Amino acid sequence: MVRKVFCRKYQEDLEGMSSPPYPGEKGEHIFNNVSKRAWEEWLEHQKMLINEGQINLADRESRKWLNEQMDLFLSGEEYAKPAGFKPKE
């Protein structure tokens, strides 16, 4: 049986993830409130942000910024996009 969650990004019941994306309270919150679709889209967008912006994940401030962008993306709010970004239709 497919696990459903009310996705905070899409504001509808969608297929959930099979396990939390990472340990701890935040991972549990994402697991219970973000759909598998939204999480997979975030992973692709995160990859673009890191590569296009040449984000150094060893830098604490860069990780903090990326985490803030994740929260915005998964909440359906305005988030950072690489220059020239055009969303898939």
**Model pTM score:** 0.89
Class in CATH terms, 4-75: mainly alpha
Instruction: Note the pLDDT tens digit of each residue in 29-87.
Output: 999 999 999 999 999 999 999 998 899 999 999 999 999 999 999 999 989 887 777 76
Residue 86 and residue 19: Cα distance in Å, rounded? 30
Instruction: Spell out the domain ranges in the chain.
Output: 4-75
CA distances from 51 to 31, 54, 57, 59, 89 (A): 26, 5, 11, 15, 22
Residue 82 and residue 74: Cα distance in Å, rounded? 17
